[in-house]
Amino acid sequence: MISPRSTFTPGHSDVSADTRVGSVIFCLTRDRPQTLIRALNAVSIDLKNAKLRPRAFIVLDDSVNAQCRLQNVHIMERVAKETNCVCLYHGPAEQHKMLAFIATQWGPEANIFDLYFRRLGGLKWDLGGVRSYAMVLANVIAKPSSPIVMIDDDIVILPRGRSASAIDTLERDVLDNPRLLTGGIIKGSPDESSVETAIRMICRFTRSKNHLLPSEMPMPVSGGFIAFNSASSYLYPFPRWYNEDWTWLAQCQAQGYSIRVDRRVVAKQIPCQKKLSLAIIKREQEGELLFEALNWAIKNYSQTYVPRALRSRAYWEDVAREEVVYLNKIIEFVSGIGIRLSEAQLEHPQHGTGIQQILRLFKRVKKYVASIEPKAMMRRYGRYLKGAKRWRSFIETARQCEMDFTVMGKKV
């Protein structure tokens, strides 16, 4: 049987369905060992107060840099000594073994892997693919209807007291209500786009107030710290575009699932410097347009009419038009600040130069967004929904797999 203690040593035989773990905790990381160690230390402290149950704690490492992967293994080895879980490191090599095994079960349609996720350690940032892979791994390792908890490497769980655990609280929430998608309050700037980062930065060093209304209709829960019952993982994969977590949440919400913040659970985001890149912002704007199309439909139409709206070219044109209107407001806002600064004597002249650079960047972004074909975005969303039908049978296959823990990851 699987012990809830980290002293568990897997045997060489397959793990049968009735000996799978009761819940799975993932920490998703990519090339940030110094950030990861703070996140893992917080998880370790939190789990000391959690109710004992057979858990697996897995670091899912998407790092490109081999040295970072090695550091991450050493970090987890130190943390594992204090964690009452089966602790596994799962990087590119472990993923290769896992996919090879499932391919033997899936048969000739194994190329479906490329539809839902790309290989760990790839150069292109693809968090949606990593989250979908985590759901597959959880369905292999855990019992049916088990809690799945995802924590990004820049999220630090804040202590709740000597006898309370944030992770245990979220696990019990989704065990009590399998149709609930929940998370904690995250202090900081989780899910902040590059445009929002730039606006916040400008407002800070010019002491201006941001009166802009957000273009997107934010979700109350962030994918950076989220819990859900594994029974809900068969509905949809995470899409492979920006706002992958909010899109997934909204898609589940359209199927009648509840999204709720558990205010007893609090975490903070570790701030990191975000590079303002035209290529990154273009990708983000595409993801925001896709998310907004779905979320606006959910907010404004009946549940039966939502699919019809998402098949309407006119509806997508309206969403794209509103995105350009919002970017125009941002450009006017930044331009106004730039004019005021040019008329005043700047204490820090470099700020004025920085604002002009950001303004030029935003104008290029707006031009790009205006050039996006709404029909292309509509087709892209349609392909995602079409792929979800195959996803459900794929998850069923994963649930039927019986694997040795040595295949699923490096025990630490």
Paired with 148 in beta bridges are 24, 228
DSSP string, 104-139: HHHGGGGGGHHHH-PPTT-SS--HHHHHHHHHHHHH
Place of tokens 């993932």: 26
First and final C-alpha spacing in the chain: 18
- Average pLDDT score over the chain: 86
Round to whole Å and give the CA distance between 294 and 253: 10
Decide if pLDDT at 12 tops 50: no
**25-34, 195-204, 370-379: range with lowest mean pLDDT:** 195-204
Paired with 259 in beta bridges are 181
Mean of pLDDT values over 134-139 = 93
From start to end of 130-193, where are the E strands?
147-152, 155-157, 180-187
DSSP string, 311-362: T-HHHHHHHHHHHHHHHHHHHHHHHHHHHHHHHS--SSHHHHHHHHHHHHHH
Q: What is the pLDDT of residue 351?
A: 53
If you count them, how many residues does the chain have? Answer: 412
Q: pLDDT band for position 5 (50/70/90)?
A: very low
Tens digits of per-residue pLDDT, 230-242? 999 999 999 999 9
Q: pLDDT band for position 192 (50/70/90)?
A: confident
* Phi, then psi, of 327 in degrees rounded to 5: -65, -35
Round to whole Å and give the CA distance between 156 and 406: 29
Q: What is the pLDDT of residue 350?
A: 53
Taking the CB of residue 231, how many other CB atoms lie within 10 A of it?
Answer: 15
Q: pLDDT band for position 402 (50/70/90)?
A: confident
Q: What is the pLDDT of residue 83?
A: 84
pTM of the model: 0.89
Scanning 255-312, the segments in alpha helix (DSSP H) are 278-300, 306-310
Token duo for residue 207: 């002491």
Tens digits of per-residue pLDDT, 349-387? 555 568 889 999 999 999 999 999 999 999 999 999 998
Helices and strands per DSSP (H, E), number in the chain: 14, 9
Place of tokens 């990154």: 280
Using an 8 Å Cβ cutoff, are 153 and 27 in contact? Answer: yes
Decide if pLDDT at 52 tops 50: yes
CA distances, 256 to each of 48, 128, 143, 235, 299 (Å): 35, 22, 24, 12, 13
Q: What is the 3-state secondary structure (H, E, C) of 188-244?
A: CCCCCCHHHHHHHHHHHHHCCCCCCCCCCCCCCCCCCEEEEEHHHHHCCCCCCCCCH
Place of tokens 């962030």: 222
* Phi, then psi, of 329 in degrees rounded to 5: -65, -40
Round to whole Å and give the CA distance between 289 and 295: 10
Token duo for residue 28: 């998703």
Using an 8 Å Cβ cutoff, are 28 and 151 in contact? Answer: yes
Q: What is the pLDDT of residue 9?
A: 35
The DSSP code for 84 is: S
Mean of pLDDT values over 224-229 = 97
Q: What is the pLDDT of residue 345?
A: 55
Token duo for residue 154: 């820049």
Name the residue with higher pLDDT: 401 or 24: 24
Domains belonging to the chain, first-starting first, are: 17-411 (3.90.550.10)
Q: What is the pLDDT of residue 46?
A: 94
Q: Report the alpha-carbon angle 149-156-158, nearest 5.
A: 95
Decide if pLDDT at 329 tops 60: yes
Decide if pLDDT at 8 tops 50: no
Q: pLDDT band for position 172 (50/70/90)?
A: very high
Tens digits of per-residue pLDDT, 81-110? 888 788 999 999 888 888 888 777 776 666
